[in-house]
């Protein structure tokens, strides 16, 4: 009798697992902001940039491009912008760094908006930060069996994949030319039961953003070095003017 009960229990668990798998589904959440959509809205033709005139030392601004569905707080943005500013501060060709609040950038503002910001904050160059995160939640692709004193029951597991990219594009505002860019990418996988799925998604979202941001900052250090060498090696592409207070 015990053997029969055992096989009946195994059969029941198999049937339930099959039903859970057959009812599996996936959810996708996407949050993003785009430098291209901000600078070139409504499919406007891309302006041909002029040769930039870089007046050293530079005044640099840092800002996140606008997004309606970004799941980051203003504090999250400011923390990353402060980390980025540390990289710029170590170079003598940078005089000052201004962190621009999100409220000063308008949706589809393009270079007209950057011209306004340039006047308001007296900056020459701006690092525009964009953000893209996609979360995939697969339901029913895994299951967790809980054994209790009164028997066993199954709770379907959730497999979460979180992909994040944070990108800093540095522009000379007056010439409209992109000087260089620095990306950061991360990919996180996790599992959770339906009970704590929302909390796990929130944790994964922030952790993925932090990891991508750390990679961006590391890449930015290298890109700044390369840009400094590039200006020296290609004088035909950049016009350099030294201000009276500049010392190499």
Q: pLDDT tens digits, residue range 95-133?
A: 999 999 989 999 999 999 999 999 999 999 999 999 888
In a domain, 114, yes or no: yes
- φ, ψ of residue 244 to 5 degrees: the values are -55, -30
Of the pLDDT bands very low, low, confident and very high (cuts 50, 70, 90), residue 10 is very low
- State yes or no: pLDDT of 68 exceeds 50: yes
Whether 6 is in a domain gets the answer no
Find the domain containing 183 and state its range.
Answer: 25-242
What distances in angstroms separate CA 156 from CA 120, 197, 203, one per listed residue?
54, 11, 20
Residue 97 lies in a domain: yes
Q: For residue 13, give both structure tokens.
A: 């668990």
* CB of 38 closer than 8 Å to CB of 108: yes
Place of tokens 């949706």: 107
Q: Name the β-bridge partners of 184.
A: 166
User: 181: closest CA among 134, 127, 136, 131?
Assistant: 127
Distance CA 50, CA 171 (A): 12
Within-domain flag for 12: no
CB 158 within 8 A of CB 138: yes
Task: Give the pairing type, strands 125-148 and 177-192.
Answer: unpaired
Q: Whole-angstrom Cα distance, residue 97 to residue 193?
A: 45
- 16 part of a folded domain: no
Tokens coding 4:
């029969």
In the predicted model, is pLDDT for residue 17 greater than 50? Answer: no
Nearest CA to 118 out of 176, 71, 197 is that of: 176
Model confidence band, residue 189 (pLDDT cutoffs 50, 70, 90) = confident
* 105: three-class secondary structure by DSSP: coil
69, part of any domain? yes
pLDDT, residue 62, reads: 97
Q: Does pLDDT of 13 surpass 80?
A: no
* Residue ranges in the chain assigned as alpha helix (H): 2-22, 35-39, 74-89, 110-121, 197-233
Cα distance from N-terminal residue to C-terminal residue, the chain: 89
**How far is 29 from 72, CA to CA, in rounded Å?**
14
In this structure, is residue 14 part of a structural domain?
Answer: no
Check if the beta carbon of residue 181 is closer than 8 Å to that of residue 168. yes
pLDDT of residue 6 exceeding 90, the answer is no
Structurally, the chain folds into a number of domains equal to 1
Whether residue 57 is preceded by a cis peptide bond, meaning omega within 30 degrees of 0, is: yes
The pLDDT, as a whole number, for residue 120 is 95
Phi, psi of 170 (to 5 degrees): -100, 120
Q: Which of 12-16, 54-58, 148-152 has the highest mean pLDDT?
A: 54-58
pLDDT (average), residues 66-78: 82
Q: Which residues contact 144 (CB under 8 A, 6 or more apart)?
A: 154, 155, 156, 157, 193
Q: How confident is the model at residue 178 (pLDDT cuts 50, 70, 90)?
A: very high
Is beta strand 125-148 parallel, antiparallel or unpaired with respect to 53-56? unpaired
* Structural domain contains residue 30: yes
Evaluate if residue 147 carries a pLDDT over 50.
yes
């Amino acid at each position: 009798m015990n053997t029969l009960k055992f096989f009946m229990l195994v059969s029941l668990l198999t049937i339930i697992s099959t039903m859970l798998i057959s009812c599996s589904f996936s959810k996708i959440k996407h949050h993003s902001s785009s430098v291209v959509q901000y600078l070139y809205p409504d499919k406007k033709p891309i302006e041909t940039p002029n040769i930039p005139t870089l007046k050293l030392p530079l005044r640099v601004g840092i800002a996140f491009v606008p997004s309606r569905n970004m799941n980051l707080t203003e504090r999250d943005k400011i923390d990353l912008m402060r980390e980025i500013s540390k990289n710029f501060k170590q170079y003598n060709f940078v005089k000052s760094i201004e962190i621009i609040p999100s409220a000063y950038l308008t949706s589809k503002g393009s270079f007209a908006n950057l011209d306004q910001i340039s006047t308001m904050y007296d900056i020459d160059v701006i690092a525009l930060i964009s953000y893209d995160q996609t979360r995939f939640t697969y339901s029913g692709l895994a299951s967790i069996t809980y054994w209790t004193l009164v028997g066993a029951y199954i709770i379907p597991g959730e497999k979460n994949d979180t992909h994040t990219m944070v990108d800093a594009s540095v522009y000379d505002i007056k010439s409209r030319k992109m000087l260089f860019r620095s990306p950061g990418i991360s990919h996180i996988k996790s599992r959770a039961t339906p009970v704590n799925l929302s909390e796990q998604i929130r944790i994964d979202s922030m952790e993925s953003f932090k990891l991508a941001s750390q990679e961006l900052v590391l890449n930015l250090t290298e890109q700044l070095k390369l840009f400094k060498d590039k200006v020296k090696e290609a004088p035909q592409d950049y016009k350099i003017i030294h201000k009276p207070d500049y010392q190499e």
